[in-house]
């Protein structure tokens, strides 16, 4: 199955949010992961923002761990330019 992923799916998995099981199942059962180049930027910004907001709960090792997890996930993504994506719609 080919699936397009946006930042909400990856962040749901990384942050163990509501609907984690659905997001993880989608991620795990996809044969071909597709997204735009913005995914890397959006997810990294969101992780940094989450760390800043919840600094009282998470130390810097949390951010490093989550960034490493994100990098592993992003290695599985096939990136397409936004122009190419809009041409298919």
* pLDDT tens string 49-81: 999 998 888 787 999 999 999 999 999 999 887
* CATH pick for 2-83 out of 3.10.450.50, 3.40.710.10, 1.10.3260.10, 3.40.50.1010: 3.40.50.1010
Beta bridge pairs of residue 33: 3, 77
Q: How many residues would you count in the chain?
A: 89
Q: What is the pTM for the complete model shown?
A: 0.82
Structure tokens of 22? 């659905």
Instruction: Convert the pLDDT of each residue in 33-47 to its tens digit.
Output: 999 889 999 999 999
- Between CA 70 and CA 43 the distance in angstroms is 8
């Amino acid at each position: 199955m080919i699936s397009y992923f946006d930042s909400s799916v990856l962040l749901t998995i990384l942050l163990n949010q509501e609907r984690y099981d659905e997001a993880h199942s989608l991620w795990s059962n996809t044969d071909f992961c597709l997204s735009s180049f913005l995914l890397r930027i959006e997810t990294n910004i969101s992780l940094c923002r989450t760390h800043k907001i919840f600094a009282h709960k998470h130390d810097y090792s949390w951010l490093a761990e989550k960034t490493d997890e994100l990098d592993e996930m992003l290695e599985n993504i096939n990136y397409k330019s936004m122009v190419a994506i809009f041409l298919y719609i």
